[in-house]
Amino acid sequence: MALPSTFLAPILLLLCRLGPNLVAARGHPGVDCVVFNEEYMTCTWGSRETLTANYSLYYWYKGSLPVVECQQYVQDQGVRVGCHFNKSEIIQFRPFHVLLNASLNGRTPLTSSKVMELQNLVKPGAPVNLTIRNMSGNQLELSWTSPYRNADCLEHAVKYKSNKDTSWTEYRVKGDIFSFPSVDYEKYYTFYVRSKINTFCGNTQLWSEWSVPVVWGSNATSNGMAEEQPHWFWIHTVLIPIASCLLLLILVVLLVRMERVWVILMPRIPNPSKKFDELFITHNGNFQEWVGVPKDFVESFKPNYSENICYVSELSSRDSHEPFWESSNHSLSALPGALAASREHSPYNSSYLGM
């Protein structure tokens, strides 16, 4: 049955008015809020690359008026991409209403609203102070603490892997203690823990970040701890020692190059070779000439070999009874013969030469 014209005209007029807003709402960004450890909340609705205008966010809680605009916008190069809420502005277990709009050419064609339950949007902080204790047998006990104020509202997940495993094993834990039933002392293990709000305090799937790892095992130290190490571990074990060694090396180089300091700390031993250059170069090794000894004094110590040679011989017994003055009358020509005869008859058959 055809509709009367009296009813058709208002419907068409309403569709014409709502048409532009409905088309614009399709491209309108949504609002996502997260309560971080019940300390602050951030609501975001896009990024600078996807937004074409600056949006304004208004919020209120059910049963409370008036509507309040965001006091701390999060901006990315001048474009509003979110809103920051302080702890005093967060109220759980009451419907949280947000209204997002943007002005375009003096109008507000883009409008979107959303209702949220903040207790379902809580993301707790990562667990801290992970501790491993050896129990009886091959059992380990892993414990930790959480920065979230109400530990009874948390459930936890523990993942671990040994140095021989290729994948992680994960367990759900309701308390803050995890018992590892059996370990191999030939391996070393790495443990992580994260948390989320349980079903008694909220309905959320927002897990915290994984904790800083803790490592257990006999070879943990020699094998460089675990395969995945936090950023602070590399800073303390790698960066700081390398920086210390470089600083020490720079100080040593500066100390060596500072000649004055080096001479004070380690005085140089003088080289005596330069003082003897004149002796060996100028005087050709003549020590007396180098020290300045007079030549006359040096000549007086030279040996004189000009003395006459005196021959001494031993006379035979027969000739020894002959007086010296008689033997002197013999001719000098007989002297060689006498000397030869004396050598033949002498029992020693030797002669002596005197200087």
Q: What residues does each domain of the chain span? A: 21-120, 124-229, 231-268, 310-354
For 308, the token pair is 């006459």
pLDDT reported for residue 160: 92
- Give the homologous superfamily in CATH for domain 21-120: Immunoglobulins (2.60.40.10)
pLDDT reported for residue 10: 39
Omega within 30 of 0 (cis) for the link into 267:
no
Q: What is the pTM of this model?
A: 0.53
pLDDT reported for residue 47: 78
Q: Do 21-120 and 124-229 show the same overall fold?
A: yes
Closest Cα partner for 119 from 138, 91, 139? 91
pLDDT tens digits, one per residue of 9-59: 333 333 334 333 433 334 567 899 999 999 999 999 887 777 777 888 999
pLDDT reported for residue 102: 79
- Regions of the chain short of the pLDDT cut 70: 1-28, 103-111, 218-234, 236, 259-263, 265-268, 270-281, 283-285, 287-288, 290-293, 297-298, 300-309, 311, 315-355
User: Cβ(225)–Cβ(215) under 8 Å?
Assistant: yes
Pick the CATH number of 124-229 from 2.60.40.10, 2.60.40.3680, 2.40.30.10, 3.20.20.70: 2.60.40.10
Closest Cα partner for 81 from 119, 106, 53, 122? 53
pLDDT reported for residue 255: 73
pLDDT reported for residue 138: 77
pLDDT reported for residue 172: 92
Rounded to 5 degrees, φ, ψ at 153 are: -90, 10
pLDDT reported for residue 261: 64
Length of the chain: 355
User: Cβ(43)–Cβ(33) under 8 Å?
Assistant: yes
